[in-house]
Amino acid sequence: MTLSPEARLYGILDLGYVEERDALSVAESLILGGASLLQLRAKGHDPAELLDLANDLNVLCSKHHVPFVVNDHLQLAKECGAPGLHLGQDDGSISEARAILGQHILIGRSTHSVEQAQAALAEGADYIGFGPLFPTPTKKGRPGIGLENIALVESSVGCAIPVFCIGGIKPANLAEVQEAGAMRVVIVSHLLQASDIFAETQLITTQLKI
């Protein structure tokens, strides 16, 4: 599977912000608002207890023709038949994941430096997350890496695979992030804490169009 070149906004359903009972409605709001792919992030949750939710999210995403991505949990991705898996720096190799899930799987890698971004491309990632640009409550205690390397990562990696900038991005700094060279973003806490998730996602999507 490959991502559409039109993909601009990566939506993340983070169970640190969203109650499981609200997960499907929040996911649909993100998708209808314009998220081009949707990730289930569930830090601290037992993957075995997430299978029903993952199955439901996979069906929802398929209905809207949006790739569903499981964060970290390879076995959960396999069991629910998710078309995508996202790996952190310490979550194993992409080749091993493909050996288990199949060559068709969409695999992303989190990166925090130019060197990691270039290594992910060489390893065969289908896309990368690059950040956190700013300090963010989603990654407590991790300093922001700033904006100065966005253009270099876009020119050296983004020419081959999508680069999604992540970390503390919100409407107040989105223009600054774009001016630094970013073409695609991940926005988590701002969207998930919005009073109207659909409307706020739609607004961000409009600002990202080029």
Res 141 pLDDT > 70: no
Select from 2.30.110.10, 3.60.15.10, 3.20.20.70, 1.10.8.640 the CATH code of 9-208.
3.20.20.70
Residues 6+ apart with CB under 8 A from 175: 207
Strands (E), the chain: 9-14, 37-41, 68-71, 84-87, 106-111, 127-130, 163-166, 184-187
Res 63 pLDDT > 70: yes
Q: What is the pLDDT of residues 148-157, one digit of tens each?
A: 999 999 999 9
CA distance 174 to 35: 16
> Are 101 and 70 within 8 A, CB to CB?
no
Res 139 pLDDT > 70: no
pLDDT mean across residues, the chain: 94
Residue 55, pLDDT score: 98
Residue 138, pLDDT score: 64
Domain boundaries, the chain: 9-208
Specify the residue for token string 């991005």.
169
| Residue 188 confidence class, pLDDT cut points 50, 70, 90 | very high
Is the C-alpha dihedral spanning 161, 110, 71, 198 positive or negative? negative
Among candidates 171, 119, 113, which has minimal Cα distance to 142? 113
Instruction: Give the Å distances, CA to CA, from 74 to 38, 39, 87, 102, 183.
Output: 16, 13, 9, 12, 28
Among candidates 57, 73, 6, 77, which has minimal Cα distance to 35? 6
Q: Which positions are annotated as active-site residues?
A: 41, 110, 139
